[in-house]
Chain A
């Protein structure tokens, strides 16, 4: 995309956000924001059995770039796995959004990806915790 198309692309995502809204009973959710600034993003995700993201939505308010970035991200990560998201670097999202349009505003541009990564980390921690609890319970059952 040239600069013109990239700006139209971002404005379209800001004004007509995709996958915006709360995902009820989401497997993973995290709210993240820039302190002192209006930008706030909550990313929701459901994870399938093969660790693929089956649904991703966002809620939030703030500037054009932070909100457009969240919308773009929800479309881009369809069908991606947890490992894909974990390995996705900041640079990749910046390129996706248009480097020369968002480079002066990386803090806003990256808010959505950071929120999603944190949500999925929390999801994995909870999963490990749940597995550990099951193991402990099983162990305790054999002891009784």
Chain B
């Protein structure tokens, strides 16, 4: 199994970010210190950096089942989504200006689509069912002669619902329409094979699979034409100029290699824990409602809405007990309305404000579950009792 990363706190926010795997961290340190040269320099030291970048590209391409040349590295998942959607839209607008996506995408996709709408593109936002699933038939129905791109996330970051990407991909493979998936939550956690998924573009981010922050990548099927968003020295096939983040890319490659090696084992362990948490939370806490799909969900994602309690209060209470978790409640992280994802499931805003997401990962041990199952029901009961008094 992968090395358990010890944590003084009970960290249940692995979907937000993960700690860097110690082996990846050591590799990054050596690339930052001794082997620091620019990979675009021709002398030996430079070529060692180049080798580190290309090694990572080979490792990742093997895991995603694509050619190394079909991968572009950049500064993270958000940038990958922006490049995939804007870059593709700009370079293919002669063929049409219609894009299809879903209402529960990450803001990196949604706000990019909204930006394109202001630039004359038309976007169809597909609604999801109450478990967060996109219906492949809805994608088909939404296709128009001027549709150029469909972008549907592989798994949702808030509720963990895993979309039928392969089904949608097979359907779109019979058309001229390109298919992008934001796989930030799945790469390193679920098997991601771009051939089986039948996608043309796929975004991923290192810090979600125990790699460093600020680095990610985009798979682009050979023959896909996109415009760069960053112009300059022509690195990354001229699609992402700027000196490569050598240490970050190498760290990402090693982190994904390790995650993939133990993927099945880790997914089995986390799913078992996830299902135990879901079952016992439903038993122990009144007015608890599971959000997302009961089975088609990420191995480590537990997400709930609780009646008559503010999600932020739960987070603060858990924080007091040393438990790190997150909420999709209103105003979270500077947002001004309850999570668009929870609202898209048809939840009332008041219920959406009582949301809690616990995401399991490598820092956790079985005893963390016992702790959470003891603390969470008490915290919620306590908060409800306090507010009932007023």
Contact = CB atoms under 8 A, between A and B. Distances in A.
Contacts of B331: 34, 37, 39, 62-63, 65-66, 105, 107-108
Interface in A1-16: 3-4, 7-8, 10-11, 14-16
A14 B315 CA distance: 14
B316 A11 contact: yes
A11 B353 contact: no
Counting chain B CB atoms within 10 Å of each CB, the highest count among A17, A37, A108 belongs to: A37
A8 B349 CA distance: 26
Interface residues of B, number: 26
Interface residues of A, number: 28
A101 interface: yes
B353 A104 contact: no
A81 interface: no
A106 B386 CA distance: 24
Contacts of B329: 63
B336 A101 contact: no
A103 B337 CA distance: 17
B333 A104 contact: yes
A122 B329 CA distance: 32
Interface string A98-120: 00010011111000000000000
Contacts of A49: none
A64 B350 contact: no
Contacts of B311: 63
Given A4-B320, A7-B320, A38-B349, A14 B313 contact: yes
Contact of A8 (B312, B320, B332, B335): B320
Contacts of B336: 34-37, 107
A72 to B, nearest CB: 14
B330 A39 contact: yes
A84 B155 CA distance: 51
Contacts of B353: 38, 63
B390 interface: yes
Interface string B183-221: 000000000000000000000000000000000000000
Contacts of B390: 15-17, 20
Nearest to A38: B330
A15 B310 CA distance: 11
A23 B353 CA distance: 28
B150 to A, nearest CB: 28
Nearest to B384: A15
B367 interface: no
Contacts of B387: 15
Contacts of B229: none
Interface of A, secondary structure class, is: helix
A38 B316 contact: no
Interface in A36-76: 36-39, 62-66
Contact of B386 (A16, A20, A37, A38): A16
A101 B386 contact: no
B312 A63 contact: yes
B313 to A, nearest CB: 4
A62 B335 CA distance: 13
Contacts of A108: 331
B310 A63 contact: yes
B334 interface: yes
Contacts of A65: 312, 331
A104 B334 contact: yes
A105 B330 contact: no
A7 B322 CA distance: 12
A142 B389 CA distance: 60
Interface in B88-125: none
A64 B386 contact: no
A7 B319 contact: yes
Nearest to B309: A64
Contacts of A66: 331
B350 A38 contact: yes
Interface of A: 3-4, 7-8, 10-11, 14-17, 20, 34-39, 62-66, 101, 104-108
Given A8-B320, A64-B316, 8 more contacts: A14-B310, A15-B387, A34-B330, A36-B336, A37-B330, A62-B330, A63-B310, A63-B330
